[in-house]
């Protein structure tokens, strides 16, 4: 079965903050999930092929078990009220450097270079926005930014098969490798959560069966699959799958097993800034803080109050992200981006010294 690189959305964050470096134990770059590819075809859907891609017994099985045993994070039950609302930012939209003034129509203070820049609005007056006490920018250089509402799921029982999210609005095909069918029944919205009941390879791509008569190409899904952990792991730990762009949180059980407790989509490093595979431990936690760097270069960035950062590989962290809604695709300059809701939950659940296992379920 072939491994194919998922499309990359190039827009991201370089995680550079001056901190003390702690060593990490590197692990193999590729780790085989317990279920992968055609290996997760079981039950009535286990015999589907490119030519025999539908079966009444398989349809009945999907109808009887249509949804994973999970519960989405709830904004009131699992997330502190106001967490998302408190992250209100504005992006500097001008392609040129912008001058910061000491008051509306006041005197220049300093210049912010061109690049990927976000600031915090504190007050507005007469077409000006205060971004820090006594620091103002023209409002026509700024655009409000809403953080992603995506949130992962709490796993309430061991899933009998892989599940995952659809990564963009699309219409499913009625057969693997077939064209999309533009009917309401075949429409799958962005971040739709579903089981994967079978996989069939067409040319170099896997196609996943996600419902009766609904086949989706692998590049448009991020899958959650149980992984065989390194022997060192115990307690609470997370596994980050760089191929699928998913994160799964596990907790050791009294019988020596590993219970899956949480799963979500992430965005790791783009080509040239890839997140390193390995076995690491959380060595620092930051509730929020600025991230900036690459001054004078085209990829200069300025990000205020990056929330809920868990540092595990030198200056690389798991952290909340308010500047994009493209989880499931690589977008960062090395860090592991999560939605703010997911980062909040993980920051509260994972602690200093807990493990972060970063691996490829397949190479790309």
Q: What is the pLDDT of residues 212-245, one digit of tens each?
A: 999 999 999 999 999 887 877 889 999 999 999 9
Mean pLDDT in residue range 15-34: 37
Name the fold adopted by 1-34+148-159+226-291+308-364: L,D-transpeptidase catalytic domain-like (2.40.440)
Dihedral angle computed from the Cα positions of residues 325, 326, 330 and 336, in that order, rounded to the nearest 10 degrees: 30
At 330-354, the pLDDT tens digits run 998 889 999 999 999 999 999 999 9
CB 266 within 8 A of CB 246: yes
- What are the angstrom distances between the C-alpha of 128 and each of 36, 139, 140, 305? 54, 5, 8, 21
Instruction: Please determine, for residue 31, whether its predicted confidence score (pLDDT) is greater than 50.
Output: no
Query: Between these two residues, 313 and 77, which has the higher pLDDT value?
Result: 313
* pLDDT for res 1: 32
Residue 90: pLDDT over 80: yes
Closest CA to 347 of 359, 356, 334, 357: 356
324-to-223, 264, 320 alpha-carbon distances in Å = 20, 16, 10
Query: Measuring CA to CA, which residue among 321, 240, 253 is closest to residue 282?
Result: 240
- Flag whether pLDDT at 118 surpasses 70: yes
Average pLDDT over residues 147-157: 94
Span of 49-58, 222-231, 319-328 with lowest mean pLDDT: 222-231
- pLDDT of 351 reads 93
Does the pLDDT at position 317 exceed 90? yes
CATH of domain 89-145: 2.30.30
| pLDDT for position 15 | 57
Give all strands (DSSP E) within 121-166, no chain letters: 123-125, 128-132, 135-138, 142-145, 153-155, 163-166
State residue 340's pLDDT score.
93
Alpha carbons 280 and 343: distance in angstroms, whole number: 18
What burial class does residue 145 get, using C-beta atoms within 10 Å of its C-beta: 0-12 exposed, 13-18 middle, 19+ buried?
Answer: middle
Q: How confident is the model at residue 300 (pLDDT cuts 50, 70, 90)?
A: confident
Distance CA 3, CA 12 (A): 24
Buried/exposed code over 53-77 (b: 16+ C-beta within 10 A; e: otherwise): bebeebbebbeeeeebebeebebee
Helix segments in the chain, DSSP class H: 56-64, 340-349
Please say if the pLDDT value at position 33 is more than 60.
no
Please tell me the predicted confidence (pLDDT) of residue 29: 40
Closest CA to 62 of 215, 179, 188: 215
pLDDT of amino acid 41: 57
Please state, rounded to an integer, the average pLDDT across all residues of the chain: 86
- Tokens matching residue 230: 């390194």
Report d(CA 303, CA 117) in Å as an integer.
6
23 pLDDT band, cuts 50/70/90, is very low
- What percent of the chain is modeled with pLDDT above 90? 64
Q: Is the pTM of this model over 0.75?
A: yes
> Where are the domain boundaries for CATH 2.30.30 in the chain?
89-145
pLDDT at 296: 65
- pLDDT of the residue at 81: 67
Over 70: is that where the pLDDT of 251 sits? Answer: yes
Confidence of residue 295 (pLDDT cuts 50, 70, 90): low
- All CATH 2.40.440.10 domain ranges of the chain, comma separated, are 1-34+148-159+226-291+308-364
């Amino acid at each position: 079965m072939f491994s194919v690189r998922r499309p990359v959305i190039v827009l991201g964050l370089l995680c550079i903050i001056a901190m003390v470096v702690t060593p990490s134990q590197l692990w193999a770059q590729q780790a085989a999930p317990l279920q992968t590819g055609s290996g997760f075809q079981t039950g009535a859907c286990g015999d589907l092929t490119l030519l025999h891609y539908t079966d009444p017994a398989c349809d009945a099985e999907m109808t009887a078990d249509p949804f994973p045993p999970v519960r989405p994070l709830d904004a009131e039950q699992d997330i502190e009220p106001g967490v998302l609302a408190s992250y209100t930012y504005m992006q500097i939209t001008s392609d040129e450097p912008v001058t910061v003034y000491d008051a509306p129509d006041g005197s220049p203070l300093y210049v912010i270079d061109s690049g990927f820049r976000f600031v915090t609005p504190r007050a507005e007056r007469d077409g000006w926005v205060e971004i820090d006490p006594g620091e103002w920018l023209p409002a026509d250089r700024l655009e409000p930014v809403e953080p992603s509402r995506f949130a992962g799921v709490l796993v309430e029982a061991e899933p009998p098969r892989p599940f995952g999210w659809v990564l963009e609005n699309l219409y499913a095909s009625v057969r693997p490798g077939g064209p999309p069918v533009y009917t309401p029944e075949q429409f799958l919205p962005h971040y739709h959560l579903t089981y994967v009941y079978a996989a069939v390879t067409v040319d170099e791509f896997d196609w996943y069966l996600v419902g009766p008569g609904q086949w989706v190409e692998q590049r448009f899904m991020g899958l959650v699959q149980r992984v065989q952990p390194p022997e060192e792991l115990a307690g609470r730990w997370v596994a980050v799958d760089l191929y699928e762009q998913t994160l799964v949180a596990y907790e050791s059980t009294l019988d020596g097993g590993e219970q899956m407790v949480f799963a979500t989509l992430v965005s790791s490093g783009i080509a040239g800034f890839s997140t390193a595979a390995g076995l690491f431990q959380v060595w620092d936690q930051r509730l929020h803080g600025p991230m900036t760097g690459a001054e004078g270069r085209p990829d200069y960035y300025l990000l205020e109050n990056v929330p809920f950062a868990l540092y595990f590989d030198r200056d690389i962290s798991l952290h909340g992200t308010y500047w994009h809604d493209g989880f499931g695709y690589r977008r960062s300059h090395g860090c592991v981006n999560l939605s703010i809701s997911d980062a909040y939950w993980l920051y509260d659940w994972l602690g200093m010294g807990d493990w972060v296992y970063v691996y490829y379920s397949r190479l790309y």
